[in-house]
Amino acid sequence: MTSAWVDLPALEVVPVGPVSARLAAPASKSVTNRALLVAALARGDSRLRHPLDSDDARAMRAAVGALGARVDDDGDDWTVSGTGGALTVPATPIDAGLSGTTLRFVAAAAALAPAPVTVTGRDGLLRRPVGALVDALRALGATVSAPGGVPPVVASGGLRGGTVTVDATASSQFASAVLLAAPYADADVTVTAAGPTADAYVALTVDLMRRWGVAVADAGEASWRVPAGDGYRARDEAVEYDASAAAHLFALAAATGGTVTVTNVAPATRQPDAAVPALLERMGATVSRSGARDDGCGASRAAPVDGGSARRARPGDHARGPGRAGPRDVGAVGCRRRARPRDRPPGGARDRAAQARRVRRRAPRRPGRHRRGAPRPRAAGHL
């Protein structure tokens, strides 16, 4: 079926010359939502510094509030009064909106509740499979149901602990969700993530758990052991930058021959797209690093490079940009190896338009006509 975005009038992207910018990237959505849930489960009051205020984060804030935590604004920070793992059972279903992260993580946390908690969402979210998460929680002793393997999810009963293999083929968040709830099981939990998945995002989860006081141990390849009884300890957490957003900024410098400095890079981050500056360097960009800062300078050539685990950003699309000729397979840089859970159209043209370039609207071409040399539209799920 043809997606609606394909039928929009064509856009011609016109370069306006090198960009020069010095700025901070936004905070990471992945870290913000993980930190919100962990702070809600922790004992005591925590502070999240400069989190990302997004639709997903608002959904998570509302969800943890329904489970008994309290989240308040304090300037650009959020303060979270945790539950110590003793969750409140809300009288109405928790609405995750369209946030898959919120639904998966909160469904796992809901398994700790003493009575059934329903986690639901809006129409698009209700079509996303959760069977692998349901199976894993049941294997650990929780009472969980999700008719047809899709939301809404109803969970309760606690986790008895043990060993579980999570099928993370569809989403690494299934493994992260089980790990995040595991410190409150009755006995130690060993989690193994099976299938091709974004392992770096599970490692991101494990690192955050360790910072919040849980001694997660490596138990083999894609396997972790979580001790029971510790729980999370409240802390002051600075939410790190979003490496995917920063990747597009660096690629913009490479595409235009300009210079972009991102001032809040976290050198030790586990985010896969933190590898993008190195990929751009291999393509001919000049990259300099100074403490917690990366500088990206314009590329003079394009070369085919394997993006490896950098799956969210698509720096090759931007580095080839308007006026930048190069091999077609440069587009492999940072390409995802499979469709992500959210089925959404590629945003290359939209991103370029938003990144300080002038866009001139053209009259739509007749159906079936394709201008020589123009990129052909990709299916929405091929990201």
Cα 275 to chain centroid distance, Å, stands at 15
Catalytic residue among 56, 242, 273, 294: 294
**Residue 46, Cβ density class (10 Å: 0-12 exposed, 13-18 middle, ≥19 buried):** buried
Identify whether the C-beta of residue 63 lies closer than 8 Å to the C-beta of residue 72. no
Identify whether the C-beta of residue 37 lies closer than 8 Å to the C-beta of residue 180. yes
| C-alpha to C-alpha distance for 289 and 277, rounded to whole angstroms | 10
| C-alpha to C-alpha distance for 318 and 300, rounded to whole angstroms | 14
Identify whether the C-beta of residue 27 lies closer than 8 Å to the C-beta of residue 245. no
| C-alpha to C-alpha distance for 285 and 276, rounded to whole angstroms | 11
Look up residue 248 and give its amino acid: H
| Nearest-10 crossing angle of helices 29-41, 55-66 | 10
Q: How many CB atoms lie within 10 A of CB 210?
A: 12
Q: What are phi and psi of 200, to 5 degrees?
A: -65, -30
> To which residue do tokens 């959404």 refer?
344
Q: What are phi and psi of 378, to 5 degrees?
A: -100, 155
Look up 55 and say whether it is catalytic.
no
| C-alpha to C-alpha distance for 67 and 90, rounded to whole angstroms | 6
Contacts of 285 (CB under 8 A, 6+ apart): 250, 253, 254, 277, 296, 297, 298, 299, 319
Q: What are phi and psi of 20, to 5 degrees?
A: -140, 115
Q: What are phi and psi of 156, to 5 degrees?
A: -175, -175
Annotated active-site positions, please?
A: 294
